[in-house]
Amino acid sequence: IDFANVELQQYAISAALITSGLCTLVNLAHWEIPLSKKLFGKRLYIGSGLLSVMGTSFTFLPIFEIAIGQMMDNDIDGTVAYGKMLGTSMVCAILELCFSLVPGKFINRMFPPVVCAVTVTLIGVALTGTGMKYWGGGVVCGDMIWKEHSQVVDLVGFDREVYPVSALPSAICENGKVKLPYGSAEYVGLGFAVLCFLVLIELFGSTFMKNSNVILALLFGYMVAGVSSYDDLPYVDSAKIKAAPVVDFLWTEWFGIGFYGPAVVPLLVAYTVTTVETIGDVTATHEVSELDVKSKQYTRRIQGSL
């Protein structure tokens, strides 16, 4: 909505983490919905009862980006546009609730294992590309700014008289107080430190460390960035940390709830994709946990997770 609004960015990140944590607690449980036997003729559950983590989905980002951009082009305030997308998402989420009521045998026919496996794999491949952009200095300067080529003409790093517009623009990425071109060795080196630490954990770490390898590697990289500097400029801006509220929660910001019709069909497609992804993730977790994927309990876990 506004990249210059640091407070709103901090709230959005906090809200995403809080929501992911609360939804994870729900998903770890496996509660029977009261009166579901009488109302639907079968017992329905909330949560998978498996050790699985709920998180944000990248599937919805381009939909939100395009829809909010269209509304802002029509002179609708960015926060109001975001509220409209929240309300539209609430309505479209009913589709996934409907999928959860479909009998297990029909769900397996609609979303067979090969479809779920391919979908989850493709999502992983797509996220790999996003990760590489972050590795080079940031996904915003590595991708989003390039959509507006005129914004980076002055920053491409070439002689403008010889190369008026470079075919390979190199946007300036700001991390902390350091400003370097995208793909600079300094940024790649910081990312490589995370990768090396991750490999060391896999080779020599305990079982607990291997299960927590991602967060430990990220903390190590953040520590390296915190003690490093470029021309006496820090990679981590402590001023933003000090300015951030000590405690935050979901109700500290309010965007209003609305509805945006043109986003309905894309969101329904996105919720179908996340349904396939959820079934694939729960199936994989079920198999890794050495549980029977042909049992009634498996079907209940799929229903509860959806």
DSSP string covering 87-99, please?
Answer: HHHHHHTHHHHHH
Question: From CA 161, how far away is CA 59, in angstroms rounded?
Answer: 41
CB 115 within 8 A of CB 269: no
Per-residue pLDDT tens over the stretch 123-170: 788 788 878 888 888 877 776 555 544 444 454 444 445 444 444 445
**Integer CA distances (angstroms), 112 to 100, 105, 268, 283, 284, in order:** 15, 10, 20, 11, 13
* Residue-wise DSSP of 151-189: GGGGGSSS-TTT-SS-SS---EEEETTEEEETT-HHHHH
Contact indicator for 24, 53 with CB cutoff of 8 Å: yes
Tell me: pLDDT of 116 over 90: no
Lowest-pLDDT range, 57-66, 77-86, 161-170?
161-170
Q: What is the predicted pLDDT for the residue at 164?
A: 47
Q: Quote the tokens at residue 226.
A: 């915190």
Query: Could you tell me where the beta strands, DSSP code E, fall in the chain?
Result: 31-32, 45-46, 172-175, 178-181, 229-230, 233-234
278 and 95 in contact (C-beta within 8 Å)?
no
- The residue among 151, 134, 18, 126 whose CA lies nearest residue 62 is 126
CA distance 299 to 31: 14
Coil, strand or helix at 41: coil
Instruction: Classify burial at 58, counting beta carbons within 10 Å of its beta carbon; exposed 0-12, middle 13-18, buried 19 or more.
Output: exposed
Tell me phi and psi for residue 244, to 5 degrees.
-70, 145
CA–CA gap between residue 95 and residue 271 (Å, rounded): 7
pLDDT score of 214 = 87
Tell me: pLDDT of 43 over 50: yes
Task: Tell me what the pLDDT averaged over the chain comes to.
Answer: 83
Answer for the pair 57, 232: CB distance below 8 angstroms, yes or no.
no
| Closest-CA residue to 272 (of 61, 78, 100, 49) | 100
Weakest-pLDDT range from 45-49, 67-71, 113-117? 113-117
What's the pLDDT at 2? 56
Band of residue 4 on the pLDDT scale cut at 50, 70, 90? low
The pLDDT, as a whole number, for residue 107 is 83
pLDDT computed for residue 23 by the predictor: 92
Please say if the pLDDT value at position 61 is more than 50. yes
Give the percent of the chain with pLDDT over 70: 89
In contact, 15 and 253? CB cutoff 8 Å: yes
User: Mean per-residue pLDDT for 186-215?
Assistant: 90
In terms of Cβ atoms closer than 10 Å to its own Cβ (0-12, 13-18, 19+), residue 200 is middle
Q: Which range scores top for mean pLDDT: 8-12, 84-88, 249-253, 286-290?
A: 84-88
Q: Are 161 and 145 in contact (CB under 8 A)?
A: no
pLDDT at 18: 92
Highest mean pLDDT among 102-116, 125-139, 270-284: 270-284
Three state DSSP letters for 194-206: HHHHHHHHHHHCC
Average pLDDT over residues 100-118: 83
Say yes or no to pLDDT of 291 above 70: yes
